[in-house]
Structure 1
């Protein structure tokens, strides 16, 4: 049997909160069509616990349609958190959403000819409203959980605000790239993101100094950007409360 004494990670990149069945019922295609939703991940945790103890999903949906799914998404996250809390979990971190309108792959795939569709950072305003609304509802839920389970440390981890701050003042945080939304590793285009020549494919180059960039490959940030966010989660101000005790 494998050794999980140092922990196990059940996360799947691009995983959804809602199940594949729920998405299919609402004509939303999940790519790939595999159910790695939050309840599935929770099930993996419960299966592992038993062995250790004796005891792209918005395809062609309007912004208003996407917003209508937020309550169900947040409620699913709440149910998963409560399931863990009722099993004795004492530390839970619940991350919010990124400003999706600032992600280079989305900026490329949903580019607009209307200048008014973009904010002063060059992000698509409408798409950012989804993450912003989701985070408002999620923060409210986290606060309710904090009140209901005072014995546990339930932390809301903010992705949205730190990314906005990095884009607003990149040089303050050590990023010297002249176009903050441009990616380090890519195959060309306005943001250096090209779906037919993505990072990791043969011949697709990466910049010589990734630490000067905020965005790595159009989907992920660079290690330098993640380090700033992680530090803000550990010590504040991007986590409520900070992960490390004593930094409140």
Structure 2
């Protein structure tokens, strides 16, 4: 279970300006990775002969009482946002057999902003980067549109009353790439990742979205897998206040800084759209620095079963 499973309440403060306005949202359309995936991973993983851990207990046990494909023991951030806006939980696009008029979730655990082909040659992890990148999710969205609205003007009116949640996405790009790149190389792909994210935002705005929430990425240097696989031989490689890896956290800070600058351009290009940046970085740092404040155990950086190395092959009878 992830450290970030407890972020929902904190993130709501980031989204509150959009939620508390006179505008009512009738639906939510969500993109991203495991921080937003409500069940697409079960299908995508099975298609690649893998089993997502989120398909089994203890995932889902504290709220749904069963695994739902969410990478959490309960609800995700997107679930709390849906509750706040009084709309149904956002159904996963690949498994839901009902209507998507109240929204659809295209997020997939392990998804990247960059296309999967970028990671294919990275030893040990390339095989786990599945074909569920932001461009793939946008194609799914495009294929769903005809069942929601037609003609184009009707779609603009429909999506004007929808909340678009664009991520978090980008975190996995760095988490996969770090297995084959040094810090300098990893930093060099940040502009491409950010450009891909901002490009996806432009796509949905041009199709009628008027409120878009865009999360940054959490601190890369605080994730248990990165702390385990990439320990620093030098004590100075760790932050004094958190014990997290300094270089990887600086990559996350760089990403979030470039993303916020990019969002300024998106706002200038689309003055009628509301583009809200959601901070995933600061709350996690606060949790690591002061775990007692949030009711957490002291060892908040302890590794748990998460990440690509724990994806299991699908059993064949």
Give CA-to-partner distance per residue, 1:126-169, whole Å, 9 cap, x none: 11111110000001011221222221111111111111111112
Correspondences of 1:31-50 after superposition (within 5 Å): 31-50=127-146
Deviates more, 1:141-150 or 1:101-110: 141-150
Local SS of the residue matching 2:126: coil
Distance in 1 (CA, whole Å) between partners of 2:233 and 2:131 is: 35
Task: Give the count of matched residue pairs.
Answer: 191
Deviation at 1:50, TM superposition (A): 2.1
CA 1:194–1:161: 2 relative to 1, 3 Å: closer
TM-score scaled by length of structure 1: 0.69
| Residue among 143, 147, 168 paired with 2:289 | 168
Distance in 2 (CA, whole Å) between partners of 1:48 and 1:66 is: 35
CA contact (8 A) 2:238 2:246 kept: yes
Deviation at 1:179, TM superposition (A): 2.1
TM-score scaled by length of structure 2: 0.55
Local SS of the residue matching 2:272: coil
CA 1:162–1:89: 2 relative to 1, 3 Å: same
Higher relative contact order, chain-length normalized (CA < 8 Å, sep 6+) = 2
Distance in 1 (CA, whole Å) between partners of 2:256 and 2:201 is: 16
| Residue among 98, 104, 108 paired with 2:224 | 104
Deviation at 1:19, TM superposition (A): 0.8
Distance in 2 (CA, whole Å) between partners of 1:113 and 1:107 is: 12
CA contact (8 A) 2:115 2:133 kept: yes
Give CA-to-partner distance per residue, 1:90-119, whole Å, 9 cap, x none: 111111111010001111111233211111
List runs of 5+ in structure 1 lacking aligned partners: 187-192, 201-248
CA 1:129–1:31: 2 relative to 1, 3 Å: farther
Distance in 2 (CA, whole Å) between partners of 1:168 and 1:80 is: 34
Asked whether 1:2 is paired with 2:123, we answer no
Asked whether 1:136 is paired with 2:257, we answer yes
Distance in 2 (CA, whole Å) between partners of 1:50 and 1:28 is: 40
CA contact (8 A) 1:18 1:76 kept: yes
Give CA-to-partner distance per residue, 1:67-94, whole Å, 9 cap, x none: 1111111111111111111111011111
Asked whether 1:20 is paired with 2:139, we answer no
Deviation at 1:25, TM superposition (A): 7.5
CA contact (8 A) 1:67 1:130 kept: yes
CA 1:72–1:26: 2 relative to 1, 3 Å: farther
Give CA-to-partner distance per residue, 1:164-223, whole Å, 9 cap, x none: 111112222232x2223225x66xxxxxx8998x799xxxxxxxxxxxxxxxxxxxxxxx
CA 1:110–1:78: 2 relative to 1, 3 Å: same
Asked whether 1:87 is paired with 2:183, we answer no
Deviation at 1:11, TM superposition (A): 0.4
Correspondences of 1:1-248 after superposition (within 5 Å): 2-24=98-120, 29-55=125-151, 56-58=175-177, 59-120=179-240, 121-175=242-296, 177-182=297-302
CA 1:161–1:31: 2 relative to 1, 3 Å: farther
List runs of 5+ in structure 2 lacking aligned partners: 1-96, 152-174, 313-317
CA contact (8 A) 1:70 1:134 kept: yes
